[in-house]
């Protein structure tokens, strides 16, 4: 599903937090008649999933946190700031995609698979939401900080990270994993923030095995 301010959901230009988005998700579960679920979140979605587990632990069976963070490290914070400013200054999703795509994939993927990189850039550049919506979500990521509360998340957690990810670096991944009581960590070598696209077979095998065993 699309968070508020993204995709086909309502476009909003107002401050939003990852906790707000977690409450939205729980409300959507209510609307769909879903009492509990295994929650898979990527990037900001993983931050939202953490708040879901903190707000309503009985509704979260397990967490799968992909390229995510409990708090951005200085590198990740700078990369997000640069991407937000590129969009605000240029006012063009196509320009934003051109300035940002190298943050999402590894050097090997970028240099070796130009057609797929072009596809990702076209996808990112085809955004239709208001740039202000992206800025609000970008700010929500910058402000997200659950480090002091990770010990409260008792559900089993699978944390996956890309070794070359500048947004959610190995430092940020370790900060997340080290704070969780029941965690398994998997690192995708030679992959970055979009490791789901770079190494889909490995990702699906890990996710499928996790869901089957939990």
Please say whether the beta carbons of 103 and 167 come within 8 A. yes
CA distance 188 to 178: 18
User: What pLDDT does residue 102 have?
Assistant: 96
User: What pLDDT does residue 12 have?
Assistant: 78
User: What pLDDT does residue 129 have?
Assistant: 84
CATH numbers and ranges of domains, the chain: 1-214 (3.40.50.1820)
What is the DSSP track for 84-147?
Answer: HHHHHHH--HHHHHHHHGGGTS-HHHHHH-HHHHHHHHHHHHT--S-HHHHHHHHHHHHH---G
User: What pLDDT does residue 145 have?
Assistant: 99
Say whether pLDDT at 7 is over 80: no
User: What pLDDT does residue 62 have?
Assistant: 99
Query: Which pLDDT band holds residue 9 (cuts at 50, 70, 90)?
Result: confident
Query: Which pLDDT band holds residue 153 (cuts at 50, 70, 90)?
Result: very high
The whole-number average pLDDT for the span 39-61 is 98
Task: Read off the tokens for 12.
Answer: 């909003």
Residue corresponding to tokens 């670096």: 169
Task: Read off the tokens for 85.
Answer: 């400013």
Say whether pLDDT at 172 is over 90: yes
The mean pLDDT of the chain is 96
Lowest mean pLDDT among 74-78, 89-93, 116-120, 143-147: 89-93
Q: Distances from the Cα of 39 to the Cαs of 35, 52, 60, 64, 172, in angstroms?
A: 12, 9, 7, 6, 20
């Amino acid at each position: 599903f699309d968070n508020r301010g993204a995709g086909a959901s309502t476009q909003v230009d107002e401050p939003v937090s990852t906790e707000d988005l977690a409450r939205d998700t729980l409300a959507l579960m209510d609307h769909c008649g879903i009492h509990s679920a295994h929650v898979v979140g990527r990037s900001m979605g993983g931050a939202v999933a953490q708040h879901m587990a903190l707000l309503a632990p009985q509704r979260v069976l397990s967490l799968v946190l992909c390229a995510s963070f409990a708090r951005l490290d200085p590198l990740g914070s700078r990369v997000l700031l640069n991407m937000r400013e590129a969009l605000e200054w240029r006012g063009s999703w196509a320009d934003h995609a051109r300035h940002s795509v190298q943050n999402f994939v590894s050097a090997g993927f970028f240099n070796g698979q130009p057609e797929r990189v072009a596809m990702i850039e076209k996808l990112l550049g085809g955004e239709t939401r208001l740039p202000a919506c992206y800025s609000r979500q970008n700010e929500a990521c910058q402000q997200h900080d659950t480090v002091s509360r990770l010990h409260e998340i008792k559900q089993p957690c699978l944390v996956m990270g890309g070794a070359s990810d500048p947004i959610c670096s190995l430092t940020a991944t370790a900060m997340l994993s080290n704070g969780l009581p029941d965690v398994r960590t998997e690192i995708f070598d030679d992959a970055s923030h979009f490791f789901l696209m770079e190494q889909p077979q490995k990702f699906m095998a890990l996710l499928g095995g996790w869901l089957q065993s939990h």
